Chain A
Amino acid sequence: MTEPLIRLQGVTKRYGSGQAELLALKGIDLDIQAGEFVAIMGPSGSGKSTAMNILGCLDTPSQGQYLFEGAHVESLSRDQRARLRRRYLGFVFQGFNLLARTSAQENVELPLLYRGDTANVRRTAAAKALQAVGLAGWEHHTPAELSGGQQQRVAIARAIVTEPAVVLADEPTGNLDTQRSHEIMGLLMALNRDHGITVLMVTHEPDMAAYARRMVHFIDGRIAKDAANPNPTTTAPDVPIAEGAV
């Protein structure tokens, strides 16, 4: 077995102290290989969001180790984790988090701005990413002029524009109707299948989790069940994905 892309070892997360102490994670061990599509499930308060924040290098474990490509994330500084995020990770949120009154293209270019890319490089990369999510020609629309599904696609384009190793999606379909949700899942599945991007997704909708090839269930701060999905959904609604777009 090759070295995993992500390895959590005995990770705990503690909030507060004394009487008010809350143990959100109680010793998690989790290995994720490059190229996996993992759905993280569980009821609210089960610790799945906390785990997701740690996996996304936004938070650090109270105890235990987090190895990302062999690097000890738990000992990195705030800025070092930011550099790691900008290089390897892409984020998709439930609430899209697009900048208002800012065109789709500028939204997608945002991560590249922090990487110091030139305007030309940014424009080309953003156009490519927007094409990959089926929004070619929508570059100059602002979020207010786009539907919810389209906004989430812009957000996905923003997540993949840096060509990350991992895309972390936190309830990406939580604000969308069923039809749009399936479109977004089809998109994430295609990114994982065709471009080898590792996708970690938090969801509580079994229909959406069914697209993943592995499901991890959290209950009460522990992993209750971690199993391959024997029969992942592969027939998503038709979403145009340009060949070699990413």
Chain B
Amino acid sequence: MLYSVFMLALRSIRRNLLRSFLTILGIVIGVSAVITMVTLGNGATASIKAQISGLGTNLLMVRPGQRSGPGGGGGGGGGGVPQFNEADAEAIAAQIGGVAAVAPEGRASATVVANGRNWATSIIGSSNAWFDTGNWKLASGRIFSDEEQQAGSAVCLIGETVRREIFDGTVGQTGLGAQLRVRKFSCIVIGILAGKGQSGMGDQDDTVVVPLRTLQRRVTGNLKVATLLVSMRDGSDATRLKASLTQLLRERRKLATGDDDNFNIFDTQQLAETLSSTTQVLTTLLGAVAAVSLLVGGIGIMNIMLVSVTERTREIGLRLAIGALEHEVLLQFLIEAVVLSALGGVIGILIATAASWGLSSLMGVPYAFDPFINLLSLAFSAGIGVLFGYFPAKRAARMDPIEALRHE
């Protein structure tokens, strides 16, 4: 019985192909809009999370100067604000629990020359802890030896971008063991960092890493440390760690009670949460707007079903006369509405899959097929068919066969 009613519904949809298509257009647009919005939103959230975890997980960035805004960090240090030094890093590592690694970081910009090519990049001076705080892996080579760090030797590791720009096309392609000229000195490339890829925070692979002492002596000419990178152990309490870190630094910088901090602590985890909750709010909002279009699509279906019921009054009269039961007529029109709207849902999903795939590659966010939102949209559109198909179907089922047959 259900099968034959289903076939009846399909048949009458097929009989009015153009109208059926126009009817479901609203649902198609609604479903594809909802899915595309949510998929793109999820992709954007995932990509922000990936970018931030690329900076290092559970990472605190401590910089001199007051916070000037999220991510603004006052890296250079404003006038008169004392800078950090290597001893600060050692003190943190020694005195604060829950710290996995502390790396003092100094930066300078320079053009590096080798192999007859040159490339403007940033030079980072730090310790071996830097590789831990930034989640860096080695593609080849090695990290610094203790002697090299102590002596400030002319050794360096290069990022993937620097390797590509300087050494692509050379024998071995890696540049390992080559002489790289940085301003007035040359360093030997002892390691290549595995690439992290482009991120919203700039190209992290565009870098040359030397021991901190090397940078201080041969590039910047002072002992300043611009940033302290502190990575926390998994599961350690970030709030408490930040509090004790703040206290320690206040003591070391001899701040009196009541003085403002003259440094700021920037928490990547917190940033990640803030940013992804922002995108989630946006996603929900866009999804809600798209859901309204689904509702409009449902009203469109009700409208067309009402027209269809009126137009097919004689047909309904005939069906009732030859013995169709009330619920069979109801079911027929209800199934017709559900099949229509579910069909709209399926077409919408196909369009949304294509659209979100295309748009996400255009916007540079990762594409992830979300089965939950797709199933939900399909169920929702079928539900809209039931909701908005019921009234017209009830109207059809309640008709008086005599009146209906007389209808012109």
Residues of A within 8 A of B (CB): 53, 56, 58-59, 78-79, 82-83, 85-87, 89-91, 93, 95, 97, 99-102, 106, 110-111, 113-116, 158
CA distance A113 to B8 in the complex (A): 9
CA distance A102 to B4 in the complex (A): 16
Interface contact A114-B321, CB-CB below 8 Å: no
Most chain A CB within a 10 A radius of its CB, from B314, B318, B321, B325: B321
Interface contact A93-B405, CB-CB below 8 Å: yes
Interface contact A59-B402, CB-CB below 8 Å: yes
Pick the residue among A85, A87, A106, A115 that contacts B321 (CB under 8 A).
A85
Most chain B CB within a 10 A radius of its CB, from A85, A114, A116: A114
Interface contact A158-B322, CB-CB below 8 Å: yes
Which residues of B from 271 to 313 have beta carbons under 8 Å from A?
Answer: none
CB distance from A50 to the nearest CB of B (A): 9
List 16 A-B residue pairs with CB atoms under 8 Å apart, sorted by A's residue number: A56-B321, A58-B321, A58-B401, A58-B402, A78-B326, A82-B325, A87-B323, A91-B321, A95-B314, A97-B405, A99-B318, A102-B15, A111-B322, A114-B323, A114-B328, A158-B322
Query: Is B11's beta carbon under 8 Å from chain A?
Result: yes
Do A86 and B322 form a contact, CB below 8 Å, given A58-B401, A97-B405, A116-B1?
A: yes
Query: Which residues on A sit within 8 Å (CB–CB) of B314?
Result: 95, 97
Interface contact A83-B325, CB-CB below 8 Å: yes
Interface contact A101-B323, CB-CB below 8 Å: no
Pick the residue among A82, A86, A99 that contacts B315 (CB under 8 A).
A99
Given contacts A110-B322, A116-B4, 9 further A-B contacts (CB under 8 A): A79-B327, A83-B325, A85-B323, A100-B15, A102-B15, A110-B318, A110-B319, A114-B319, A114-B328
In the A-B complex, list the 8 residue pairs whose CB atoms are closest, starting with the nearest.
Answer: A86-B323, A85-B323, A111-B322, A97-B318, A101-B15, A79-B325, A113-B4, A114-B324
CB distance from B318 to the nearest CB of A (A): 5
CA distance A26 to B322 in the complex (A): 28
Pick the residue among A85, A95, A102, A106 that contacts B322 (CB under 8 A).
A85
Pick the residue among A82, A91, A158 that contacts B324 (CB under 8 A).
A82
CB distance from A143 to the nearest CB of B (A): 12
CA distance A101 to B18 in the complex (A): 14
Query: Is B320's beta carbon under 8 Å from chain A?
Result: yes
Most chain B CB within a 10 A radius of its CB, from A86, A89, A97, A158: A97
Look across to chain A and name the residue whose beta carbon is closest to the beta carbon of B317: A97
CA distance A90 to B405 in the complex (A): 15
CB distance from A101 to the nearest CB of B (A): 5
Query: Which residues on B sit within 8 Å (CB–CB) of A114?
Result: 319, 322-325, 328
A-B contact count (CB 8 A): 60
Look across to chain B and name the residue whose beta carbon is closest to the beta carbon of A113: B4
Which residues of B from 377 to 408 have beta carbons under 8 Å from A?
Answer: 401-402, 405
CA distance A79 to B328 in the complex (A): 10
Interface contact B4-A83, CB-CB below 8 Å: no
CA distance A85 to B317 in the complex (A): 13
Residues of B within 8 A of A (CB): 1, 4, 8, 11, 15, 314-315, 317-328, 401-402, 405
Query: Which residues on A sit within 8 Å (CB–CB) of B8?
Result: 113
Look across to chain A and name the residue whose beta carbon is closest to the beta carbon of B326: A79
CA distance A241 to B315 in the complex (A): 29
CA distance A111 to B401 in the complex (A): 15
CA distance A151 to B324 in the complex (A): 22
CA distance A113 to B323 in the complex (A): 10
Do A91 and B322 form a contact, CB below 8 Å, given A97-B314, A99-B315?
A: yes
CB distance from A140 to the nearest CB of B (A): 14
Most chain A CB within a 10 A radius of its CB, from B319, B326, B401: B401
CA distance A95 to B402 in the complex (A): 13
Look across to chain B and name the residue whose beta carbon is closest to the beta carbon of A50: B402
Look across to chain B and name the residue whose beta carbon is closest to the beta carbon of A107: B318
CB distance from A157 to the nearest CB of B (A): 13
CA distance A90 to B326 in the complex (A): 19
CB distance from A168 to the nearest CB of B (A): 10
Pick the residue among A82, A95, A100, A102 that contacts B323 (CB under 8 A).
A82
Look across to chain A and name the residue whose beta carbon is closest to the beta carbon of B14: A101
Query: Which residues on B sit within 8 Å (CB–CB) of A82?
Result: 320, 323-326
Interface contact A83-B321, CB-CB below 8 Å: no
Query: Which residues on A sit within 8 Å (CB–CB) of B315?
Result: 97, 99
Do A102 and B11 form a contact, CB below 8 Å, given A59-B402, A110-B319, A116-B4?
A: yes
Look across to chain A and name the residue whose beta carbon is closest to the beta carbon of B318: A97
Query: Which residues on B sit within 8 Å (CB–CB) of A111?
Result: 322-323
Query: Which residues on B sit within 8 Å (CB–CB) of A99?
Result: 315, 318
CB distance from B288 to the nearest CB of A (A): 41
CA distance A101 to B1 in the complex (A): 23
CB distance from A36 to the nearest CB of B (A): 22
Query: Which residues on B sit within 8 Å (CB–CB) of A90?
Result: 322
CA distance A190 to B356 in the complex (A): 67
Most chain A CB within a 10 A radius of its CB, from B4, B319, B326: B4
Query: Which residues on B sit within 8 Å (CB–CB) of A97?
Result: 314-315, 317-318, 405
CB distance from A121 to the nearest CB of B (A): 12
Query: Which residues on B sit within 8 Å (CB–CB) of A102?
Result: 11, 15
CA distance A78 to B324 in the complex (A): 11
CB distance from B330 to the nearest CB of A (A): 12
CA distance A90 to B8 in the complex (A): 21
CA distance A78 to B321 in the complex (A): 11
Do A53 and B402 form a contact, CB below 8 Å, given A97-B314, A114-B328, A116-B1?
A: yes
